[in-house]
Amino acid sequence: MAYSLTLTNPPNPTSVHAGNDADETFFDSLCETLNGTHASGSLNIFNQGYREDLFQHEGAGSNGQMTRHRVPVPSVAHTSLKVVFRGRHSQLGSSYGRLLVNVYNEAGSLLASSYSTLSNSGSDEMGTVTITGLTLTDDHIRIRCGLLTSASSSFSYCSSLAGSWVPLTSVATTKSDEGAIIPVGSNATATGRPISAALGYTLMTTANTLLKRKRLLASMSGVSGAPESDSAYLQPFPYCQIVRLNHTDQATRIYWWALAYNSGGSAQEFAVAYGDTESLFQHNHTEPNGFRIQSRETQSVPASTTAWYNGHIDIPAPPPRGQGMHERLIFLACSTPAMSRRDAFFFGDHDANLLIRSISFWSE
């Protein structure tokens, strides 16, 4: 999934003065610096590992909806995505196993699906599922991954998943709600291709649009259909996801989507919060899961309900920088009364009825 860019090699504007054509070096530098915000910074979809073979499927048939992720679409020009995985199949006779990837729109209609065959070996091996030709009209899509086995008493396993959008390689103009965007691409254009005044103007007027493109920060999902029913939901303690923020004099808005399940007879609340990483790295007390949150947002889930919920949380400017830290880092977390460290999220008594199936964070 690596995508290497040289982000500190900006193009030289003096090489494209009036009457002079842009050469390959100019476009090479331009695509690298521009894609740092346009493509590469927005390509991540999810990256998650599963311990102790929790992500598994037994018996003939498929379960293509074992994990669930809801992710933003970078642009209508992004029409392909890849899922890289590590997995294996425990062969019985001539049986085989597959990893399935399904893509749905906001209405729940299947847009595309693909699969890759799992290796018949004693240890996990890497594979890739590629989906191309997506026609995307929504701001978000839903991705579900699952496993298939072709024979009873055989097993398919997945230990880790990583998904990303495929980088753009076209110099065609991409449309957005805020105007035209020039996705210069991940490869240099042909030598001697001229740069027009229209291209330069569009680059200047859409720079902020590129910077404001939604970027996925973290996405986690439980695994349904696995032998242990509890693994359908996130484990009962908060995962503190560390993210880096750019320095700014304006508040940074973090968006979140969560798939929650309340099996109880009364409404319950879950919380989404952020905190400074100093409390993670420099915690001196005996509590092994120590941290402090700076702010939280809560969401009420009615009794006997499974539904997606969304909201946002604002990080005041400037973003915090911990003692001795050069980067500006925060952590994001989601918790319910069923999770440990209820005190950190200002919950009272333990209640095991409200569980989180999936949580995603992104920002502009």
Q: Report pLDDT for 289.
A: 64
With H, G, I as helix, E, B as strand and everything else as coil, classify residue 84.
strand
297 shares a domain with 180 = no
Q: Report pLDDT for 51.
A: 83
The burial class, CB within 10 Å (0-12 / 13-18 / 19+), for 143 is buried
Residue 250 amino acid letter: Q
6 in any annotated domain: no
Q: Report pLDDT for 346.
A: 86
Q: What is the CA radius of gyration of the chain?
A: 23
Task: Report which listed range, 27-31, 69-73, 173-177, is most confident.
Answer: 69-73
Report the domain count for the chain.
3
225 in any annotated domain: no
62 in any annotated domain: yes
Separation in Å, CA 133 to CA 2, 129, 136: 22, 14, 9
Q: Which residue has tokens 């950190």?
A: 344
CB 241 within 8 A of CB 299: no
195 shares a domain with 274 = no
> Which domain, by its residues, includes 240?
233-363
33 shares a domain with 147 = no
172 shares a domain with 38 = yes
Residues in the chain: 364
Give the whole-angstrom CA distance, residue 324 versus residue 168.
Answer: 38
Question: pLDDT digits over 111-167, tens only?
Answer: 999 999 999 988 999 999 999 999 888 889 999 999 999 998 899 999 999 999 887
CATH number of the domain where residue 98 is located: 2.60.120
61 shares a domain with 134 = yes
**What does the pLDDT average to over 50-71?**
90
Q: Report pLDDT for 2.
A: 38
User: Which range has the worst mean pLDDT, 19-23, 88-92, 177-181, 254-258?
Assistant: 177-181
Question: pLDDT digits over 302-346, tens only?
Answer: 999 999 999 999 988 887 776 666 678 889 999 999 887 777 888
Sheet order of strands, 329-335 included: 241-244, 329-335, 268-276, 295-301
- When the pLDDT of each residue in the chain is averaged and rounded to a whole number, the result is 80
189 in any annotated domain: yes
157 shares a domain with 115 = yes
> CA end-to-end span of the chain, whole Å?
22
- pLDDT-based confidence at 209, cuts 50/70/90? low
188 shares a domain with 153 = no
- pLDDT-based confidence at 92, cuts 50/70/90? confident
CB 262 within 8 A of CB 354: yes
Give the whole-angstrom CA distance, residue 99 versus residue 19.
Answer: 54
Question: pLDDT digits over 228-285, tens only?
Answer: 677 889 877 778 888 888 777 888 899 999 999 999 999 999 999 998 887 777 656 6
